[in-house]
Chain A
Amino acid sequence: MTDWSGYIGLILQGALVTLELTLMGSVLAVIMAFVAGLGRVSRFMAVRALATTYIEFFRGTSIFVQLFWVYFVLPFAGVTLSPLQAGVLALGLNVGAYGAEVVRGAVKAIGREQREACVALNLTRGQAMRHVILPQALPLMLPTFGNNAIELLKGTAVVSLISLTDMTFQAQVVRAQTGSTLIPFAVILVLYFLMALAISTGMRWLERRVTRGLDGVRT
């Protein structure tokens, strides 16, 4: 009979790494999403082109390819990253590219009359964006951001392939040491599902928070 308590501890350690990656990756993704998303609606051609290139590049290849590229190729360019840094960078940039399209879509969805009202009130572009457009666009973004966060969580499994000790990696370790396959994989599947559930519940709560006070503003 195998003593499972040690192995469960190992998987829970992995779960922590997975959570850490998801959290840091999401922060980077949100930053990139807003930078690139607002870049795509910029009035400067160069900024728009740069943002579009970033988005198409990162949406055109998968997280797996990007991760390997960051981890194996960048060292030759003199940039050596730890597996954790490589993971956060690849996940954040990848999901950020998807998020950027969401930001752009939401900003575009705010009606013309809102922009015209801003002009009429003599707000600068920055003020209009911060006080009028974004507060209304944010609730439109949240549901898709939630889905993106779950995609990011699922993407973290890939980092186990560059030897980062996340949940999937630890499950492989347990499999190698005990020879049991069902238990480690079933346990981490359930844990991943619970995390995804937590994200979607959290996002729904956040959605209620930010729509509070907006009743009647949008139809």
Chain B
Amino acid sequence: MEWDWNFVWEIMPTLLEGLKITILATVLGAAVAAVVGLVFAILRMTAPKPIARATSFIVEFIRGTPLLVQLYFIFYVLPDIGIRLPALLAGVIGLGVHYGTYAAEVYRAGIENVPRGQWEAAKATNLSARQTWIHVVLPQAIPPMIPALANYLIAMFKETPLLSAITVLELMNQAKSVANSSYRYIEPMTMVGIFFLIMSLISVVFLRWLEERYARVEER
């Protein structure tokens, strides 16, 4: 079978429709991941020991199991206990919780990398806990986290095709349905690959820039 440009232009609107959902899922998933990651990080660092242990275990468990199975779990098991979620919402929650465990590690590393001397200095200058966090710790902890978080954002973007398995009509699913109705696989599948490749090549450039901008705060 030959590559057919006319067919490519014909399916383009459908694919772009899917791309919109893909981007929407990524943005929402990232928001959920940022919050979930923060909760996990705080629980692991400040909660009493048994809770911190349990959180660590949950984080390890989520990181050790496939996202696809977690999505199935959310989409198929939760309705049995009365929580019926629309496919996109289930997908966003799945993505968010999965990548939240990665974000938690980034937060923890960022905060632990602030030297002890900074905490002691804050105490010595009689800052309250709130002031210490807002004016001393977070301004130093957040910039180095940004490239790492952006890295996971890109990873999450690339994982969104998994949502097609729970019937979300994102890019991959649109391509599959086009392919199944026209019996032409080359163009839709290749276009999906090209879309992702272009997006991630752009984001690699963006990531390099972020790294240069934020990774070297200590040297200032």
A interface residues with partner B (beta carbon < 8 Å)? 56-57, 59-62, 64-66, 68-69, 72-73, 76, 150, 153-158, 160-161, 168, 171-172, 175, 181-182, 185-186, 188-189, 192-193, 196-197
Least CB distance, B73 to chain A, in whole angstroms: 5
Give a binary string over B56-96; 1 marks a CB under 8 Å from any A CB, 0 the rest: 00001101111111101100110110000000000000000
In the complex, B192 has a CB within 8 A of chain A: yes
A153 to B64, CA, bound (A): 9
Q: Is the interface of B mostly helix, strand, loop or mixed?
A: helix
Least CB distance, B68 to chain A, in whole angstroms: 4
Which of the residues B73, B80, B186, B201 comes within 8 Å of A189, measured between beta carbons?
A: B73
Which of the residues B72, B165, B200 comes within 8 Å of A61, measured between beta carbons?
A: B200
Which of the residues A59, A171, A182, A193 comes within 8 Å of B64, measured between beta carbons?
A: A193
Q: Once the chains bind, are B68 and A160 in contact (CB under 8 Å)?
A: yes
- The residues of A that contact B158 with a CB separation of less than 8 Å are 60-62, 65
Q: Once the chains bind, are B186 and A73 in contact (CB under 8 Å)?
A: yes
Which of the residues B66, B77, B162, B200 comes within 8 Å of A192, measured between beta carbons?
A: B66
A193 to B80, CA, bound (A): 23
A65 to B67, CA, bound (A): 15
Which of the residues B65, B162, B185, B200 comes within 8 Å of A64, measured between beta carbons?
A: B162
Q: Once the chains bind, are B185 and A60 in contact (CB under 8 Å)?
A: no
Q: Once the chains bind, are B68 and A158 in contact (CB under 8 Å)?
A: yes
In the complex, B143 has a CB within 8 A of chain A: no
Least CB distance, A142 to chain B, in whole angstroms: 18
Q: Once the chains bind, are A66 and B193 in contact (CB under 8 Å)?
A: yes
Least CB distance, A51 to chain B, in whole angstroms: 16
Q: Once the chains bind, are B65 and A158 in contact (CB under 8 Å)?
A: no
- The residues of B that contact A66 with a CB separation of less than 8 Å are 193
Least CB distance, B13 to chain A, in whole angstroms: 20
Q: Once the chains bind, are B69 and A73 in contact (CB under 8 Å)?
A: no
Least CB distance, B134 to chain A, in whole angstroms: 34
In the complex, B179 has a CB within 8 A of chain A: yes
Q: Is the interface of A mostly helix, strand, loop or mixed?
A: helix
Least CB distance, B107 to chain A, in whole angstroms: 19
Least CB distance, B101 to chain A, in whole angstroms: 12
Closest chain B residue, CB of each to CB of A175: B76
Q: List 27 A-B contacts (CB under 8 A).
A: A56-B204, A59-B200, A60-B197, A60-B201, A61-B200, A62-B159, A64-B161, A64-B162, A64-B172, A65-B196, A68-B176, A72-B185, A73-B190, A150-B64, A153-B66, A156-B66, A157-B68, A160-B68, A168-B68, A185-B69, A185-B76, A186-B73, A189-B61, A193-B60, A193-B64, A193-B65, A196-B65
**Top 8 nearest A-B pairs by Cβ distance?**
A196-B64, A157-B66, A62-B158, A72-B185, A154-B66, A60-B200, A157-B68, A64-B161
Near A by CB (< 8 A), chain B positions 27-79 give 60-61, 63-70, 72-73, 76-77, 79
Which of the residues A69, A160, A193 comes within 8 Å of B190, measured between beta carbons?
A: A69
Q: Once the chains bind, are A185 and B161 in contact (CB under 8 Å)?
A: no
Least CB distance, B25 to chain A, in whole angstroms: 13
Which of the residues B66, B77, B189 comes within 8 Å of A168, measured between beta carbons?
A: B66
Least CB distance, B106 to chain A, in whole angstroms: 15
In the complex, B1 has a CB within 8 A of chain A: yes
Q: Once the chains bind, are B196 and A182 in contact (CB under 8 Å)?
A: no
Which of the residues B66, B67, B179 comes within 8 Å of A72, measured between beta carbons?
A: B179
